[in-house]
Every structure is written in structure tokens, then in C-alpha cells.
Structure 1
Amino acid sequence: MTATPLSPADARLAIDRGARLIDIRGTDEHARERIPGAISLPLYRIADLPRDGLPVVFHCRTGMRTSAHAAQLVSAASGAPAFLLDGGINGWRRAGLPTIADRSQPLEIMRQVQITAGALVLSGVLLGLFVAPGFFALSAFVGSGLMFAGVTGWCGMARLLQVMPWNRRAVAASTAPRSGFDLR
């Protein structure tokens, strides 16, 4: 059995007919913006999906995660019809369908990592050019950390950002049993 891609309009019809909408993004992403009625079940917990035979529509942010993990998602559906929302929540929003956005929630950890890493690399380059060449090491250190995160799937910067005061509410809500951060 394979997962069938659905346009946002067709996904809306399937949900209206009783299909369950499963958001496989991280809990921090789901808290910040979600499709009404979507159940947050991050990819690392997808085996917890109830096996009740109901059709399931899986979604992520852009559709790339659901496509990359389609076999795992179909397996978790346990024989029930499985669908992938084309374009993820972004496609849903582009189709003019409603989402619930809570801008009081912190930015997703991955976006925080990107902003922080970019700021540190830029700072290292500028300080290296205008203050002392030794500051180029900051950019090298951040770059090597990003490479390590890409190879291992564990990001020290993400772990550090997760315990920052502005993220404590999001971390407390997360039930992630593993240490690390999945960069997919």
C-alpha cells in the first residue's frame, strides 16, 4: 500500500468525511501554527498512531517530510487509507484554507538555529575582517557544528536554544524522549 497525495481541497473533503489529520512536525512547530483539528504526532512518535482503520491524512510544513517518510507513515496507518497533504501546511494556507497561528509561541527551534548560526558566522567574518583575524575561528566553529549536526542528527545549538527562557514553555510541552534534534 502507498500513500496517495491529496490537494488541500481534497484533503479538506477527506477530513470532513472522517479522515484523521496528523501533523508530523515537531510540537514547537505545531504550537506556533496548525490546521484546525490536526493532531500533533511528531514523526519520532508516529508508531503511537491509533490503529482504528480510519483514513489518515499526514502533513508537515511543505510536504517534503511526509514524502521522504511515506513508507513509515503508511506502515503506521496499519492498512488504513493513508494520504499526504500536497504542499503541507504551506500548501493548505496557499489554498486559502484556515490555520490557527499563535505568534506568542517561540519560533521553531530549527529557525532559531538558522538565525543564531547565521548571526554568529556573520559576526565572526566581520570581526575577523575589522578587528582581529582570530575571530574567523568563530565562523569555523559554527560551520563545523552545523556539519556535525547534519552528519549525526544531533545539534548542540538546538539543545542549548531549547533551554533558553523564551523556549521553556515549548520544551515543557514536548514529550520528546530522545536527546538531540532531528534536522529533517
Structure 2
Amino acid sequence: MPTASKSYVDANAARQLVADHGAVLVDVRTPGEFATERAEGSRNIPLPLVKAAQAALGEAERPVILLCASGTRAGQAKDLLGEETGVPVHILEGGLTAWKRDGAPVESSGRRVWGMERQVRLAAGALVIAFVALSLAWEPLKWLGAAIGAGLVVAAVTNTCAMARVLAFLPWNRRAA
């Protein structure tokens, strides 16, 4: 599948698109992350559901601005959407982090759910420690620890993360805002 051309906008340009053209802010993070903190007025369409929402995004006949925590998942969402929405689709450069840094308004539930990247680091680190410790009792378990490390290398090289996709199914990541 060819990669869609990527149009990045900063927080100020995104706010201007919302004000002038009624652009739709689409947050592609998990529902748990979205419930914790989100750009004011944004709606949540988690990354795995973006392709299914493609037609609805085009029917709104308004520009779409994709965002996530840092911009990576928004870029993946843009790749999934391709050029077929029929409306301009932009990526918020720097994600919610840049949005907040530029003083743009955010909404918060007061709930604290760790971001997906932090959850992945915790899970991967805990698994490696567990497999290394258990390998003292049964040596072949060291290879499971090595497999986790290899998975992290693949995640970095491909800019995708299977562990994040699995963690997205945990209850705190699935709660609606």
C-alpha cells in the first residue's frame, strides 16, 4: 500500500483550521488515554478503528486534523486513510504534547492513565526482568527475554508496536471518555 502524502500543521494552524473551516480534531489514542486528557473539542477514533471511520470523516465535508500523544500514531492513521477521504487530512505536528505546549485548550477527566508508550516500556521491562530471573531456574527462558528485546527492535525499525496493540485491549485503555 503506498504511503499517503503527509500534511503536518502546528497547534496554531490547527486551531485556525478549526475556527475558520470547522476542521474536526480526531484523536487516535486509546479511549483510556483520551479520557485522561484531550484537546478541547476533539473526538476519539482509536487507531484500530480509523479505517472503518473513513467514510464518515469524508461525509462531514470538513478538514480533518489527526492527533495522538506525539504524532506517530496520527501518522499511522493518515497512512491508513490514504487520500480516499475526499477532504484534507492533516497531522498535528508534535501531537497533544505540542498542543499543550502552545497553550491550546485541553479537557481532562482527572483520571490518570499512563500513555501507551509508557505502558509498553513497563510491560517490556517487566517481562525481560522476569524471564532473566526465571532463566536462573530454567536456562532456556533467557530466549524469551531476548525475544522481547527483538520485538522492541522490530517496533523501532517499523514504527509499529505489537505490544501496544495488545495493551490497547486492557480495560483501562478501552474505557470511553
TM-score (norm 1): 0.68
Aligned positions of 1:17-166 closer than 5 A: 17=20, 18-46=22-50, 47-49=52-54, 50=56, 51-75=59-83, 78-122=85-129, 125=132, 127=133, 133-134=136-137, 140-145=143-148, 147=150, 154-155=162-163, 158=166, 162=170
Where 1:100 maps in the other structure, the secondary structure is: strand
Structure number with greater CO (CA < 8 Å, separation at least 6) is: 2
- Taking a change above 3 Å as real, the CA distance of residues 79 and 159 of structure 1, as seen in their structure-2 partners, is closer
Aligned pair 1:11/2:14, yes or no?
A: yes
Identity of aligned residues (%): 26
1:83-127 CA distance string (max 9 Å, x none): 2111111111121222223452432455333213313434555x4
Shift of 1:35: 0.5
Paired with 1:99 and 1:26, the residues of 2 have a C-alpha distance of 17
What corresponds to 1:177 in structure 2?
none
Where 1:75 maps in the other structure, the secondary structure is: coil
Residue type of the alignment partner of 1:16? A
Shift of 1:20: 0.8
Uncovered stretches (5+) of structure 2, i.e. residues with no partner: none
Paired with 1:139 and 1:21, the residues of 2 have a C-alpha distance of 45
Instruction: Choose 1 or 2 for highest CA Rg.
Output: 1
- Taking a change above 3 Å as real, the CA distance of residues 156 and 107 of structure 1, as seen in their structure-2 partners, is closer
Shift of 1:71: 3.9
- Taking a change above 3 Å as real, the CA distance of residues 52 and 105 of structure 1, as seen in their structure-2 partners, is same
Q: Does structure 2 conserve the Cα–Cα contact (< 8 Å) formed by 1:113 and 1:157?
A: no
Uncovered stretches (5+) of structure 1, i.e. residues with no partner: 175-184
Aligned residues: 164
Residue type of the alignment partner of 2:60? D
TM-score (norm 2): 0.70
Where 1:134 maps in the other structure, the secondary structure is: coil
Paired with 1:64 and 1:79, the residues of 2 have a C-alpha distance of 23
